[in-house]
A and B are shown apart, each in its own frame.
Chain A
Amino acid sequence: MKITKLIIAVSLEIETHGALIKLKNINIDFDCEIHLVHVVPVILYARGLHLSALTYPLMTERPKIEETILGKLADVKTEIFPNHKNVTLKCIFDGNEKMAFCDYVEHQQPDLVVVATRSKHGISKFFDSSFAQFQLGHSSSSILVLR
């Protein structure tokens, strides 16, 4: 498949970094449209007797968080796709990370989606990435799972 549009889920965890580096082995055209996407989990909770709903992170904190994350995504771009011109950095805030990423993929209709996992072993493999598993089952595009 000719890859003209690629969406990569970037978790920013060190364990997945080694897996993402493998993307250098795939010769992706320099004019390929690449989206580096990170989803920030939003937690909704009620506080006090007034039953007011709050979200974490707070709305006031989000611009700063988004700026930091876009900076991290820019570092990933420099390391893996230094010569690619058409790279979009995206930070999404959502209560359901898996679904939010899935919706983004559905909207963008890429040729390929890339997800990196932490590749746990032994008893800890029961806690292996459910994010990748979710995308395998629900994404509308072909998926590359990197370990």
Chain B
Amino acid sequence: MNFAEKVVVAVGLSNDMTDMLRPMHEMEFLAKSEIHFVHIFNTTNYTTVFSDFPIVYPIEADLKGIDESVLAFLAKAAKAVLPEKFQGKIIYKCFFDPSPKSKFSDYVKESKANLVIVPKREKVGFFESSFAYYVNKHTHANMILLKKN
């Protein structure tokens, strides 16, 4: 079995995300893979003294617009980073969750992916990305951590 048959890629929304994922362009083993480009939008719950109900950001009225924007971003990033002779299947997903690490790991498990690709900025010490660390610990998929030089 190809170890990259089903691939889930964690995509952030920063300006340099396409550069960080660009090494995928030369990964020929992805040519026939099913690739899921996934972004988890971090939601935040606020409680106020004026209401018994928490306020969730982003508010429900904004969700559709954010979802459309994110999916468009994912499609643009995918076009820039996929291998030249890509013949596989592409899926775009945008989720809203207060715990992006946990939601992403759950998605990897649910989709039964055998490879996860996570880009990571070059930070050291206390500011190391805990996202990749968490995903590696909580999923059974193979993992490629792309580090920006």
Are A147 and B144 interface neighbours, CB within 8 A? Answer: no
Number of interface residues of B (CB under 8 A): 23
Q: Does A64 contact B (CB under 8 A)?
A: no
Interface residues of A (CB under 8 A from B): 1-2, 19, 22, 25-27, 119, 121, 128, 132-133, 136-137, 139-147
Q: B51 → chain A, closest Cβ, in Å?
A: 41
Q: Can you give 25 A-B contacts (C-beta < 8 A)? A: A19-B142, A25-B2, A25-B4, A27-B28, A128-B137, A132-B136, A133-B133, A133-B136, A133-B137, A136-B145, A137-B128, A141-B147, A142-B144, A142-B146, A142-B147, A143-B143, A143-B144, A143-B147, A144-B143, A144-B145, A145-B136, A145-B142, A146-B3, A147-B140, A147-B141
Given A133-B136, A136-B136, A26 and B142 contact (CB-CB distance below 8 Å):
no
B10 to chain A minimum Cβ distance, whole angstroms, is 14
Bound state CA distance, A137 and B122, in angstroms? Answer: 10
Tell me, in angstroms, the Cα distance from A119 to B142 when the chains sit together.
Answer: 10
The smallest C-beta distance from A26 to any residue of chain B, in angstroms, reads 5
A143 pairs with B145, CB closer than 8 A: yes
The interface residues of chain B, by DSSP majority, are classed as mixed
If the complex has contacts A142-B145, A145-B145, are A1 and B133 also in contact, measured as CB distance less than 8 A?
A: no
Taking the closest CB of chain B, its distance from the CB of A124, in whole angstroms, is: 13
- Which residue in B23, B26, B122, B133 is a CB contact (below 8 Å) of A136? B133
